[in-house]
């Protein structure tokens, strides 16, 4: 799957966002090394600590289905700008490898590609424990 198509999956995932407080829909789509795509959206809660970001929703769905290896994750929020993963999501992404590509974008043709090291330099991950 190309990165533009993965971003379109993230844009579709935005439609399911539960955002009664922020009114800011975010969608994510994670591509596993087995070739499957899992989508997630942000899910808010009146107790803000119970809120979950789209990126973690997508990753946790994949992990709950037995996936542990990821190629890429795409994130789409406000389509007039680029929406980046928050710090907690960046830490969750690095948990599954430093080679995961991160795509942020506005459309299938308008996106940016990053590595986790670019977005979370000097990270701490399971690889560092070896």
How many alpha carbons fall within 13 Å on the CB side of residue 15?
Answer: 5
Residue 44, token pair as written in the block: 């808010």
Question: Could you confirm whether 71 is annotated as catalytic?
Answer: no
Q: How far apart are CA 53 and CA 95, in angstroms?
A: 16
User: Residues 9, 15, 44, 55: which is the catalytic one?
Assistant: 55
> What's the order of all strands across the beta sheet hosting 101-105?
37-41, 27-32, 70-76, 101-105, 111-115
For 96, the token pair is 């599954």
Q: Rounded to an integer, what distance in angstroms lies between the CA atom of residue 3 and that of residue 120? A: 20
Active-site positions read 55
């Amino acid at each position: 799957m190309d990165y533009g198509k993965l971003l379109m999956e993230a844009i579709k995932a935005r439609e399911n966002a539960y955002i009664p407080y922020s009114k800011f829909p975010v969608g994510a789509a994670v591509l596993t090394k087995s070739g499957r795509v899992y989508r997630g959206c942000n899910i808010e809660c009146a107790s803000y600590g119970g809120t979950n970001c789209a990126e973690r929703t997508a990753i946790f769905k994949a992990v709950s289905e037995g996936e542990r290896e990821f190629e890429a994750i795409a994130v789409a929020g406000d389509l007039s700008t680029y929406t980046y993963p928050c710090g907690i999501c960046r830490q969750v992404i690095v948990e599954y490898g430093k080679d995961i590509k991160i795509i942020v974008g506005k459309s299938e043709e308008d996106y940016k590609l990053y590595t986790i090291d670019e977005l979370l330099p000097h990270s701490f991950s399971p690889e560092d424990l070896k």
